[in-house]
Amino acid sequence: MSQPPDQAGRRVAGWVGGGASGFARGVLGGVRWPDHKLQQVQRRTIWTLVAAQSLGGLGITIGIAVAALLAEEISGSESLAGLAQTMQVLGAAVASFLLAHLMGKRGRRPGLLLGYVLGASGAALCVVAGVVDSFTLLLVGATLLGSTTAANAQSRYAATDLAKPAHRARALSLVVWATTVGAVAGPNLTGWAGRVAADVGLPRLTGPFVIGVVGMALAAAVIGIFMRPDPLLVAREAALAAGRSGVRTGTSWSRVTAAARERTGVAAGVVALALAHAVMVAVMVMTPLHMHHGGATLEIIGVVISAHVLGMFAFAPLVGIATDRLGRPAILMAGAIVLLASLFLSGTSPAGASFQIGLGLFLLGLGWSLCTVAASTLLSESAPSSARTDVQGAADLVMGLMAAAAGALAGVIVGWLGYPALNVFAALLVTGIATAAEFARRTAGSSAPEDDETLAI
């Protein structure tokens, strides 16, 4: 007796049980999912990702707020304080590629679940490092903590697996927007978390990491319980039934290089994504120092950074709608223009507190949001189905490595030439974003995917 398509689809895509092993071995036949069922799965996926992103973001930001302080307290060296954050950035970059590789084989759910579990383990190690006063253990924990950053970043791609072509950017941007919850709430809980830690006999600076463990564990639980069926596996099933599924050949990196060479949208998206992130990180990490040298209080510096975070995430849904309506290249170019305006304001601002530096940092965040949403959507929809997760992981790997390099180079530039010179350097990187946007506009449709598994969904 044959099974109804809906029942078979649930079994293959992992509505119950693991469900991904069939794809690891190779599925011979697809299940034709009705459109209304696909959209039901998409809605469930989006709200699952929003909830997990909020909890995971809380776990990450509350730890970031005190990571350097805990590193300085344990090591006794101010020069080593930034190593914890550096290791987290590098850990996130490497984890992005590895988690994406796992998702390509087993689906989104196992990859995201592993990212949050590793991140929670890293936060727990940071607590232990504070208790036993071990700097090495702190660096290991910070590296693992980057896995949650990677999982949060990969979540935005999961939102596009079943999205209709006209709604891809807004689906992705809604998940990006969810980061606002953790980004705003996390730092504001550090004081309370420190007091609670002291009350139970733990070092005060380990308290935020305890909250981080809870946040990331809850994010893992949300993914494990509610991300059923797996959106990527459902998309592959639907594509297989329609005869649009690609064949995975070669290694992960060979598939990435082939996609970047053959699909202009992939190359343009990766370049724009990496450069926008490098510009944002380079200027953002040195702005507090620029303000502090001019006598700005920590409270004012905090307000400016909050305005920056607001620009990064709060308007993401509007950015997504604009990206769907106006096109990816147009929003990339708009992002480049906004970034140039922000660098002019920041680079010409006096040291200390000013409205000008606040507006500059807000626009820096907004420009990053415009570029990130547009570039992420562009590279995702341009990649062939057989290499899509590989491309997404490689893009975030390159983005993370660029961020680490930019953060390190920013300190050298400011130390030698000053904060205005840093903004000039960042402006040169923005010209690369504008070039990528124009390249994507001119070549739009020249390498359209023939096996896109969601174009007709």
* Three-state secondary structure of the chain: CCCCHHHHHHHHHCCCCCCCHHHHHCCCCCCCCCHHHHHHHHHHHHHHHHHHHHHHHHHHHHHHHHHHHHHHHHHCCHHHCCHHHHHHHHHHHHHHHHHHHHHHHHCHHHHHHHHHHHHHHHHHHHHHHHHHCCHHHHHHHHHHHHHHHHHHHHHHHHCCCCCCHHHHHHHHHHHHHHHHHHHHHHHHCHHHHHHHHHHCCCCHHHHHHHHHHHHHHHHHHHHHHHCCCCHHHHHHHHHHHCCCCCCCCCCHHHHHHHHHHHCHHHHHHHHHHHHHHHHHHHHHHHHHHHHHHCCCCHHHHHHHHHHHHHHHHCCHHHHHHHHHHHCHHHHHHHHHHHHHHHHHHHHCCCCCCCHHHHHHHHHHHHHHHHHHHHHHHHHHHHCCHHHHHHHHHHHHHHHHHHHHHHHHHHHHHHHHHCHHHHHHHHHHHHHHHHHHHHHHHHCCCCCCCCCCCCCCC
Closest CA to 218 of 44, 42, 53: 53
Of the candidate ranges 117-121, 245-249, 254-258, 398-402, the one whose mean pLDDT is the lowest: 245-249
Most confident region among 212-221, 260-269, 406-415 by mean pLDDT: 212-221
- The C-alpha atoms of residue 30 and residue 255 are separated, in whole angstroms, by 23
- The C-alpha atoms of residue 197 and residue 206 are separated, in whole angstroms, by 7
170 φ, ψ (degrees, to nearest 5)? -70, -30
CATH match of 34-245 with 1.10.10.370: no
Across the range 169-190, mean pLDDT stands at 80
Give, in degrees to the nearest 5, the angle at Cα 101 between 96 and 104: 125
C-alpha 115 chain-centroid distance: 12
- Reported confidence tier of residue 163, pLDDT bands at 50, 70, 90: confident
> What integer pLDDT is reported at residue 243 of this predicted model?
58
Closest CA to 434 of 378, 371, 379: 371
Is it the case that residue 454 has pLDDT exceeding 60? no
Over the stretch 290-305, which tens digit does the pLDDT of each residue have? Answer: 887 788 776 677 678 7
Is it the case that residue 414 has pLDDT exceeding 70? yes
> What integer pLDDT is reported at residue 63 of this predicted model?
65
> Measured on CA atoms in the order 425, 180, 146, 42, is the torsion positive or negative?
negative
Higher-confidence residue: 386 or 120? 120
Q: Which residues contact 410 (CB under 8 A, 6 or more apart)?
A: 281, 282, 283, 285, 286, 422
Euclidean distance between the first and the last CA atom of the chain, given in angstroms as a whole number: 28
Q: Which residues contact 256 (CB under 8 A, 6 or more apart)?
A: 387, 390, 391, 394
Q: In CATH, what class is 250-444?
A: mainly alpha
Peptide bond into 449 cis (omega under 30): no
Region(s) of the chain under CATH 1.20.1250.20: 34-245, 250-444
Helix 316-326 and helix 355-382, axial crossing angle in degrees, nearest 10: 50
pTM of structure: 0.79
Q: Which residues contact 225 (CB under 8 A, 6 or more apart)?
A: none
Across the range 39-62, mean pLDDT stands at 87
Q: Which residues contact 233 (CB under 8 A, 6 or more apart)?
A: 12, 13, 14, 19, 20, 23, 107
The average confidence (pLDDT) of the chain is: 82
Q: Return the structure tokens found at 98.
A: 């590895």
Of the candidate ranges 129-143, 152-166, 347-361, 439-453, the one whose mean pLDDT is the lowest: 439-453
- The C-alpha atoms of residue 248 and residue 255 are separated, in whole angstroms, by 8
Q: Which residues contact 273 (CB under 8 A, 6 or more apart)?
A: 371, 372, 375, 376, 379, 395, 398, 399
Which CA distances in Å does 222 have to 51, 179, 271?
Answer: 7, 15, 33
Is it the case that residue 101 has pLDDT exceeding 50? yes
